Amino acid sequence: MDELELHEPVLVKEVLDTLSPAPGKVIVDATLGHGGHSLAILSQLGGEGLLVGIDRDPQMLATARRRIEAAHVPESCYKLIVADHSQLPQVLAETFPNPRVSAPDGFLFDLGPSTPQLLDPRLGLSWQSDEALDMRINPRLAGPSAADIVAAWDEAELARLFRVHTDERWAGRIARRIVEARAREPIRTGRRLGEIVAGAIPRKAWPPRIHPATRVFLALRIEVNGEYRTLESALPVAFEWLRPAGRLVVISFHSGEDRRVKEFMRAAVTPAQAPWPLPQGEARATARPVTHRPLVAGEAEQARNPRSRSARLRAIEKI
């Protein structure tokens, strides 16, 4: 199957409704992926605006570029950049050197890896993979791999990772089994780790719709790629660069992501409810809600695209 057939962007109509792209507007797709959302946005810009697409995976960006070129979009209407969210300040400063003249009217974040990345055995993101347990989505990332964490972290550190990142109920028991297993032989593949995790959880406690190792693999992927850290740093940067009446739209896929997005947006809309201290003089609303509750996929989209079942879209507009 062609890689493009493996991934359908979620909530496309909802993205367009909340982001409101129109001719002449400047939109930043901070998670370009295969370009599905960007192509929909470009169709609304009508050749008169600018789409800035950012992705940390060079292969994904190359695929998106081919799709945009195949749609005969004028080169002046888009700019694609390889970067991760930690580099967002530099990317925006270089792209918009004079914010008074040109600044983004909208930002889109479609969080998490795409379906092709999840299925790519080379990344080791799946419990079905017999490749190296790596999980570094950006091949240039210099940090530890998932195999490094599984091999080096002590039992308490592993348990805390699984518990904090994904609320894994059996975190302590899983961590203990991992430590016991690696003492016998190194844990080198996703398949082996998946077997260990599944064996640590009582069979009657396995979740009904997902593999029992799902949360552990998610926690490792989040840690390896610094997903929470970069999200928490990228959202304020994007909001700061928005022009007045610009919109920030975020799609999340699990509770840890959604909680951080919700807290950031709540602080912008209602500073008194912010979960962190605000600098003096900033206890005022800087945004209004576009979505009062998260938007979710309809029944037809969920049936057509199972990945959309867990998608949650939230949006705010800068005052």
Give the pLDDT score at 140: 62
Give the pLDDT score at 306: 87
Confidence of residue 282 (pLDDT cuts 50, 70, 90): low
- Distance CA(31)–CA(137), nearest Å, equals 13
Q: Give strand pairing partners of 316.
A: 248, 289
Q: Is the dihedral of CA 287, 293, 298, 302 positive or negative?
A: positive
Report yes or no: 313 and 18 within 8 Å, Cβ to Cβ.
yes
Confidence of residue 128 (pLDDT cuts 50, 70, 90): confident
Mean of the per-residue pLDDT values of the chain: 90
Give the pLDDT score at 57: 83
For 158, list phi and psi in degrees, rounded to 5.
Answer: -65, -45
Percent residues over pLDDT 70 in the chain: 88
Give this prediction's pTM.
0.88
- Distance CA(31)–CA(38), nearest Å, equals 9
Q: Which amino acid is at 103?
A: A
- Distance CA(29)–CA(32), nearest Å, equals 6
Q: Which one is the CATH code of 142-224: 3.10.20.600, 3.40.50.300, 3.40.1130.10, 1.10.150.170?
A: 1.10.150.170
CATH architecture of the domain formed by 3-116+228-318: 3-Layer(aba) Sandwich (3.40)
The residues spanned by each domain of the chain are 3-116+228-318, 142-224
Average of pLDDT values for 3-26? 86
Give the pLDDT score at 5: 46
Q: Which amino acid is at 301?
A: E
Taking only Cα atoms into account, the Rg of the chain, rounded to an integer number of angstroms, comes to 20
The predicted-structure confidence for 207-265, as pLDDT tens digits, reads as follows: 888 899 999 999 999 999 889 999 999 999 999 999 999 999 999 999 999 999 999 99
**Order of strands across the sheet that contains 78-82:** 78-82, 50-55, 26-29, 106-110, 247-252, 312-318, 287-289
Average of pLDDT values for 70-80? 96
- Distance CA(240)–CA(218), nearest Å, equals 30
Give the pLDDT score at 1: 35
Q: What is the 3-state secondary structure (H, E, C) of 35-58?
A: CHHHHHHHHHHCCCCEEEEEECCH
